[in-house]
Structure 1
Amino acid sequence: MKKTAFLLLSICATALIYVSCSKDDVINQTDPTAVGASVAIDAANQMDINTGLLVANSAATAKSAANVSGICATITVSGTTYPKVFTVDYGTAGCADNQLTRKGKLKITLSGPVITTGSKLTIERIDYSINGIKLEGTIEYTNTTTVATVPQWTRKVTNGKFTDLQGRVYTNSGTHTVKQTAGVDTPYVLEDNVYEMTEGNHTVTTEKGATLTLTVQETLVKKYSCTYISKGKLKVEGGFLKGVVDYGNNDCDNKFTYTHETGVSYNLEM
C-alpha cells in the first residue's frame, strides 16, 4: 500500500517534512514531523561539514582562505599554524550558496590536516540559519583512519537544535562512522569523493517530548557532488513509529521512502 507524503519545508528547497495521513493511518502517538526533521537535520549537518571541508581544503592547498569557491561568506583566519580557527560569516542579511540562504556564522576549528589521523574538524554554529531554519549545536569530525587506503572519520553531533519556520523545536545528537570509498587518490579534490556511513545513530526529540532514534541499518552512501544521501537505510524507532527510511538506488535525487512495520509506505521528497 503506497501513500504520498508532502514536503512542507525542505532544507534545500524550503525546509522540513510532514506526512499527510488519515485518522486510520499509523501516526497517532508520535509527532510524524520528527521523521522529516531528522532527514533535514542530517542534510544540514552534512552541508556544514562540506563547508568545513572546503575551508580545510583551501588551507591545505594554500589558496586564499578569504576567498573560497562555493562559499559566499566572508572568511577570516586566526593562526598561521595548527590549530587554525576560521570564521565563516554569512552576515545578518545572509547570502546564497546553491540557492540556500545562510545567515550568521560558522566557527571552524582545524587541529591539523583533515586527512591526517587524529586531526579534528570542529564546527560551531553562531546565530546561524539556512533558509530561515535556525540551527544550533556543534559538529566534531575526527579522523580515525587506520588503513591509509580507506580514510575514516567519526562524526559526532552534540547539543543539536533545529527550529523550523513554525517555531517547532527539535533537539538532536548522535555519532556516525564515515568512510571514504572514492576519491582517495585525489585528496585535495572534493568533487569525486564518495562517503559511506557504515554505522551509528542519532536521536531527535520534539518539543512535546516525543523521541525518535534512527540507526544505520544498511550503509548510507553520500556523494560529495550530491546534496542528499543517495542509498542506504535507517531503522526508525520512537513511540508508534517503527519502520525504515530507504534512500533509494544511488540516484542523485531528493527522494526517499518511509515504510512502517505494518507495510504502509510513504513516498517523500526533500
Structure 2
Amino acid sequence: MKKILVPILAIVLMGCQEKENVNNDTAQQQTIAALLEYTVVNKIFQDVGNNGGDAVLSSESSASGKSSVKSEVDGPTITVEPFDLTSFPKTITVDYGTGVLCQDGITRKGIVTIVSTGWYRSVGSKHTATFDNYYHENFKVEGTHVVENLGLNQDNNLEYGVTIADGKVTAPTGVAVYYSENTTRTWIAGSDTPLNIWDDEYLLNGNQSGVSAAGVEYSLTVEEALHFILLPRGIESGILDVDIADLNDVKINFTNNTITIFGQIYPFSS
C-alpha cells in the first residue's frame, strides 16, 4: 500500500505556493497519511478475523478426528484445550513461533489465543482473540477481537458480528495507530470448504474508527459493502464514507480505486 503515497502527494503538492494553499496541502497530507494507515490496519485486523475462524474450524476438524492439528511445517502450531467436541469454552492457541511464511506470502509470528464458546458455525458462538507478541509482517498487533455467529441471513449466508476494542498496530518505526470496529461480516464464498481459508470471500458492513500516528481522529461508515477476497488478498469493491479531523466529505472508493478529498478525486493503486 505504500506505493499509493507518492502519486497522490505529487498531485496534492502541485501549485501550493501561497500560505493558504500550503495549509490546505498540510491538511490533505495528514488526511491521506491517516487513510493510508487505515488501509493497512484494516487489512491486518480483517486478516486476524479470517485466520481466527480458520483456526477454530481446524480445531473442530481435529477434535472430531477428521484431520490432524497443523504443525510448524506448513503453518502455525494449533493446540486446543479441552481437546474434545463437546466441552466449552475452549482455549485455542495459534502459535506462529518466531515466524511462519504463510500461503498468502505474509509472515506471521507470535501467539494468538482464542477463547470459543462453541464451534465456528454454531449460532450464538463467540470467539474472543487476544495477542501475545503477535506480528503481521513487521507490524505488532494488540487489542481484543470478538466474533459472534449471528446465523444465516435471507440469502442463506452466515453472518458474524465483529467487535474490535483497544486495537493497536505498531509499525517498525515505533509509531502506533489505534483502531476500533463494530461491523457485520457476511461469508459469501468458501463456506463449503471450511478447511481452506484461501477461497473465502465476504462482505463487510458497519462502522470503524481510529486515531492515526499523527493523532488525527477518523470514523468510517460503509456506504457500499466492502467485498474482501483472501487470495490474492484485497478489496474488490465497496465505498467508505470518512469523517476525518474537520472534514466530512471524504470517500474511499474501492470499486474504481479513487479517494475523494475536498471535492477532488485522486486515483490509487490497491
Q: After TM superposition, is the score higher than 0.5?
A: yes
Report what 1:44 is aligned to.
Answer: 44
- Aligned partners of 1:193 and 1:131: how far apart in 2? 21
Map 1:184-263 onto structure 2 (within 5 A). 184=191, 190-197=197-204, 199-241=205-247, 242-248=249-255, 256-263=257-264
Distance 1:181 1:95, change over 3 A: closer
Of 26, 29, 33 in structure 2, the residue corresponding to residue 28 of structure 1 is 26
Identity of aligned residues (%): 26
Report what 1:67 is aligned to.
Answer: 71
1:210 Cα deviation from its structure 2 partner: 1.4
Amino acid at match of 1:99: G
CA contact (8 A) 2:166 2:178 kept: yes
Query: Which one has the bigger strand percentage?
Result: 1
Distance 1:68 1:189, change over 3 A: farther
Deviations along 1:33-62, one digit per CA (max 9) or x if unpaired, are 210111111111121122112211212223
CA RMSD of aligned residues (A): 2.7
Unaligned runs of 5+ in 1: 9-16, 250-255
CA contact (8 A) 2:31 2:244 kept: no
- Aligned partners of 1:130 and 1:18: how far apart in 2? 26
Distance 1:129 1:18, change over 3 A: farther
1:186 Cα deviation from its structure 2 partner: 5.3
1:144 Cα deviation from its structure 2 partner: 1.0
1:6 aligned to 2:3? Answer: yes
Distance 1:31 1:260, change over 3 A: closer
CA contact (8 A) 1:200 1:216 kept: yes
- Aligned partners of 2:189 and 2:100: how far apart in 1? 31
Distance 1:185 1:162, change over 3 A: closer
Deviations along 1:82-115, one digit per CA (max 9) or x if unpaired, are 2221211222x32211322222111122211111
Report what 1:14 is aligned to.
Answer: none
Distance 1:267 1:147, change over 3 A: closer
1:190 Cα deviation from its structure 2 partner: 4.3
Of 112, 137, 142 in structure 1, the residue corresponding to residue 143 of structure 2 is 137
Rg larger for = 2
**Secondary structure of residue in 2 paired with 1:6:** helix
**Secondary structure of residue in 1 paired with 2:41:** helix
Which of structures 1 and 2 has the larger relative contact order (alpha carbons within 8 angstroms, sep 6+)? Answer: 1
Distance 1:158 1:27, change over 3 A: farther
Distance 1:116 1:122, change over 3 A: same
Map 1:115-126 onto structure 2 (within 5 A). 115-126=121-132
Report what 2:101 is aligned to.
Answer: 96
Which range moved further: 142-151 or 37-46? 142-151
CA contact (8 A) 2:158 2:187 kept: yes
CA contact (8 A) 2:108 2:135 kept: yes
- Aligned partners of 1:87 and 1:189: how far apart in 2? 19
Amino acid at match of 2:158: P
Amino acid at match of 2:52: G
1:238 Cα deviation from its structure 2 partner: 0.8
Distance 1:82 1:19, change over 3 A: farther
Deviations along 1:148-207, one digit per CA (max 9) or x if unpaired, are 82311101111101111222211111111112233455556545443111x311111024
Distance 1:65 1:19, change over 3 A: farther
1:161 aligned to 2:164? Answer: no
TM-score, length-scaled by structure 2: 0.81
